[in-house]
Amino acid sequence: MSEAAQTLDGWYCLHDFRSIDWSSWKLLTNEERQEVTNEFLGLLEKWNVTENDEQGTHALYSIVGQKADFMMMILRPTMEELNDIELEFNKTKLAEFTIPTYSYVSVVELSNYLAGESNEDPYQNPHIRSRLYPKLPQAKYSCFYPMDKRRQGDDNWYMLAMDERKEMMRSHGLIGRSYAGKVKQIITGSVGFDDYEWGVTLFADDVLQFKKLVYEMRFDEVSARYGEFGSFFVGNLLSPTKLDSFFHV
Ligand code: 76R
């Protein structure tokens, strides 16, 4: 048996995609719509308090294309809290006007492929902690997709020796690092939690950098030979100031 990579696991993560039932939404009066929006803003305010207490983080993006109208990405220390948040949202008035279109459950993951030898407890290392328990950036754009590593015939990632995987991950990391300052990535592991093995969430202030990075990685062996991808979701930051116009009809 090949050696399994060791992972460090951080906050649990829910990507919750919703479409809006605009026809029903339009039937409300302005006052009713304002009330529904205010209730949702109240929920966001609660999430902000949690974020300021460093007990979680969240981001809201308006999704382009027909797969969804918006995405809520929420990170919390426990699976229970994610569940509570999902339930709390589902009980809001706004939820009555949304249609769930996709969701993804995972946990922030760092693997040891590129980690050096060390005797320290990684969970006490401030740099590692900032990645396991991140504050999501308010980047202008976000891109999410789930992915697997192939297990097919001769192309089976899980049959490769640790050293081979390390070498390929090194090359992967080098490409990734050349996008430092342009794209921030959060890898979340989802084996046992959802249909794919990882969720990839990218943040950038220049949306084109997603295409450039993902395209460049397609030529790198670990993606070219072993990457299998689910649906891609791309969106624009739905900042609090944009929410009013987003819901306005
Ligand atoms: O964690 C680290 O920064 C160390 C290097 C590193 C690891 C271990 C790293 C760097 N990644 C790692 C693991 Mn990655 N990554 C992806 C995708 O579209 C595609 O082809 C693949 C989707 C992107 C765009 C991306 C970006 N990475 C992983 C894993 C887990 C693999 C496993 O355990 O088998 C997956 C699935 C994955 C996928 N990666 C980086 C990036 C970027 C931008 C970096 C550089 C980060 C930085 O140095 O700041």
Q: How far is CA 247 from CA 21, 31, 33, 61, in A?
A: 11, 12, 8, 13
145-191 tens-digit pLDDT = 999 999 999 999 999 999 999 999 999 999 999 999 999 999 999 99
- Confidence class for position 37, pLDDT limits 50, 70, 90: very high
Predicted confidence band of residue 136 (pLDDT cuts 50, 70, 90) = very high
**Residues catalogued as catalytic:** 145
- CATH assignment of 7-247? 3.30.70.1030
Taking the domains of the chain in order of start, what are their residue ranges?
A: 7-247
ipTM metric: 0.94
pLDDT at 142: 99
The verdict on the CB of residue 5 being under 6 Å from ligand 1 is yes
> Amino acid identity of 167?
E
Residues 50-73 pLDDT 10s: 999 999 999 999 999 999 999 999
Q: How far is the CA of 44 from the centre of ligand 1 (A)?
A: 30
Ligand 1 within 6 A of CB of 175? no
Does 116 score more than 90 pLDDT?
no
